Amino acid sequence: MKKDLHPSNYRLVIFKDMSNDYAFMTKSCINTNENIKWEDGNEYPLVKLEISHTSHPFYTGKMKLVDTAGRIDKFKTRYAKK
């Protein structure tokens, strides 16, 4: 097996679904700029998600009305800077 193939900076990270405020903790090496205080009183890096298994229609069985106009505007403002 090749040496130094996998990242070595795995740590506990909180992933938060912003559509329904569901959060879960897992190990990851993703870079983040924000932190959040978790249930155990410790502070962990935060990764914000637009959708997770608790809000995705495939897993919930419910179709949500998606605000396409808002999503298009969000896309345009996000990439207008580039």
pTM exceeds 0.75: no
Q: Tell whether the model's pLDDT for residue 68 goes beyond 60.
A: no
Q: Tell whether the model's pLDDT for residue 80 goes beyond 70.
A: yes
- Segment 21-49 mean pLDDT: 92
Where in the chain are the domains?
11-79
List the one residue out of 44, 6, 10, 41 whose CA is nearest residue 25. Answer: 44
> Is the pLDDT higher at 64 or at 31?
31
28 contacts 47 by C-beta, under 8 angstroms? yes
Which of these ranges, 4-8, 20-24, 38-42, has the smallest mean pLDDT? 4-8
* CA count, 13 A, side-chain hemisphere, 31: 1
List pLDDT tens digits, range 5-19: 888 889 999 999 888
